[in-house]
Amino acid sequence: MQVILRRVTLPLSQTPDLRPVSLDACPALVLNADFRPLSYFPLSLCSWQDVIKAVYLDRVTVIEEYDRVVHSSTAAIRLPSVISLKEYISPAIYPNFTRFNLFLRDRFTCQYCGFVAGNGRELTFDHVIPRRLGGRTRWENITSACPGCNFEKGGRTPEKANMTLRSKPVRPTIYNLQNIGRCYPPNYLHDSWRDFLYWDSELDL
């Protein structure tokens, strides 16, 4: 079974807005069959169109609903705000080796000076053992660095550059990244999603 997840752009404000809600602002939070989100960061959301299709195909269970109603030619349907898959999807153990996942592993922080970047845009990645010394492009040899630290380190090892790593680069599991991702709640959370996200306990990390 396949459920198509699309990235959905949400409004930035968390304040209640009494104007009519755009349908595009009504994605559903998608939970696995164990009622945990398929993904925390980015949050697993599904557009209302795909949700309606999945409901129609009997692939998901509707857990919560928006007040917003859509009308077909024969019926009125309240838009689901939280759905769960009927069939459990086993999560992969290891995440893909991507820039984004690497920055997430390092909490969007330069591992040399501690500079925290917004969404990783101001970060670069650094080969801890430089490539010219045989360093490989892999989880265990790549770390997040701000441009200044990356420039200062140049093609040297941290020892030669007299720079100290704040964490040893390791290959994370999906579970590790999920836990880190919970520390970065999205700008908008519908009230009905909160019971499934456990932000409060995780923000103490």
Which residues in this chain contact Zn ion in the complex, by CB under 5 A? 110, 112-113, 115, 146, 149
State the burial class of residue 105 (Cβ atoms within 10 Å of its Cβ: 0-12, 13-18, 19+).
buried
H or E element that contains 12: none
With contact defined as beta carbons under 8 Å apart, do 29 and 51 qualify? Answer: no
**Stretch (H or E) spanning 15:** none
Distance in Å, CB of 148 to Zn ion, minimum = 6
Shortest Cβ distance from residue 203 to Zn ion (Å)? 25
Residue closer to Zn ion, measured from CB, 144 or 178? 144
CB of 144 to Zn ion, least distance (A): 9
For residues 30 and 123, which CB has a smaller minimum distance to Zn ion in the complex? 123
Identify the residue whose tokens are 């690497």. Answer: 102
CB of 125 to Zn ion, least distance (A): 12
Nearer to Zn ion, 9 or 164 (CB): 164
Length in residues, the chain: 205
Q: Is 174 within 8 Å of 154 (Cβ atoms)?
A: no
CB of 162 to Zn ion, least distance (A): 14
Task: Rank residues 80 and 120 by Cβ distance to Zn ion and give the closer one.
Answer: 120
* Shorter beta-carbon distance to Zn ion: residue 83 or 146: 146
Number of DSSP helices (H) and strands (E) in the chain, helices first: 6, 6
